[in-house]
């Protein structure tokens, strides 16, 4: 397996990790991994583990590349979280996509996403704006206004309206963020724009996950089916929020889906 760590030269200059079957891999399928919101590991940094690592390893065995990148404000991407929005994160996915195409590693029609939790929000945001993904695998789906707590960003904004309207910052999911984040989510919640999703989508949902994520996965699945988009739903018994307990099963379902979609 060939590994390459680098920063993109455009946008937020996101820090990336690219894994390929070999150094000279060209025109192969690529999975872009969108991580969720987590606390920094050992004071900073993003290390692959659990389901993402299992997906990467099985991808490499099937001649599929894997690219992960850090969202704005994390690790070597840096950035001030007061300017963080899901729209910005979605643009990070787009920048990673464009890098893969421009480098000749892959091409349009072969690149998709594997997202976990709020990372699924970024993947759906990219697809809803650009309709370029060849596939999307969504684990612990986060597309509604209940991203973190009942009421989600909209209610959180109302609860802190005076402070935010006056330019203050509030702590939300371990990040100090501004009104920009809440304004963006209020206008662009993924669940309200699912008609813009055109790519085949697999929802992998753990039975031990919280009810909000379970509902989002079902809602997303049903909405895409109604819109005529090819979609699958698999309920993982004994799987938690990130399917850590069922990493190998997650990888098998993901790679099987990707291969079937690309063979059509």
Q: Which strand (E) or helix (H) includes residue 136?
A: strand 136-139
Contact 245, 52 (CB under 8 A): no
pLDDT digits (tens, 9 = 90+) for 155-184: 888 889 999 999 999 987 778 889 999 889
Contact 37, 118 (CB under 8 A): yes
Three-state secondary structure call for residue 203: strand
Res 216: pLDDT = 95
Confidence of residue 151 (pLDDT cuts 50, 70, 90): low
Residue spans per domain, the chain? 2-263
- Burial degree of 75 (CB within 10 A; 0-12, 13-18, 19+): middle
C-alpha span between 194 and 159 (Å, rounded): 28
CATH number for region 2-263: 3.40.50.1820
**Cα–Cα distances in angstroms (integers) from residue 23 to residues 4, 26, 136, 218, in the given order:** 9, 9, 25, 40
Confidence of residue 40 (pLDDT cuts 50, 70, 90): very low
């Amino acid at each position: 397996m060939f590994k390459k760590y680098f920063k993109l030269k455009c946008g937020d200059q996101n820090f990336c990790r690219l894994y390929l079957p070999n150094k000279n891999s060209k025109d192969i399928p690529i999975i872009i991994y969108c991580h969720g919101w987590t606390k920094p590991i050992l004071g900073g940094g993003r290390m692959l583990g659990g389901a993402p690592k299992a997906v990467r390893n099985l991808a490499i065995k099937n001649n599929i590349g894997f690219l992960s990148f850090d969202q704005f404000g994390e690790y070597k991407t840096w950035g001030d979280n007061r300017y963080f929005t899901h729209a910005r994160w979605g643009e990070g996915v787009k920048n990673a996509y464009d890098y893969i195409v421009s480098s000749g590693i892959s091409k349009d029609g072969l690149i998709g996403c594997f997202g976990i939790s709020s990372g699924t929000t970024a993947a759906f945001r990219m697809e809803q704006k650009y309709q370029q993904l060849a596939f999307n695998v969504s684990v612990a789906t986060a597309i509604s206004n209940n991203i973190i707590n009942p009421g989600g960003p909209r209610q959180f904004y109302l609860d802190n309206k005076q402070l935010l309207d006056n330019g203050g910052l509030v702590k939300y999911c371990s990040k100090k963020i501004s009104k920009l984040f809440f304004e963006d989510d209020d206008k662009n919640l993924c669940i309200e724009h699912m008609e813009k999703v055109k790519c085949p989508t697999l929802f992998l949902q753990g039975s031990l996950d919280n009810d909000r994520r379970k509902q989002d996965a079902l809602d997303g699945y049903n909405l895409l089916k109604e819109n005529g988009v090819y979609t699958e739903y698999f309920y993982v018994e004994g799987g938690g929020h990130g399917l850590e307990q069922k990493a190998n099963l997650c990888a098998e379902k993901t790679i099987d889906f990707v291969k079937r979609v690309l063979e059509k």
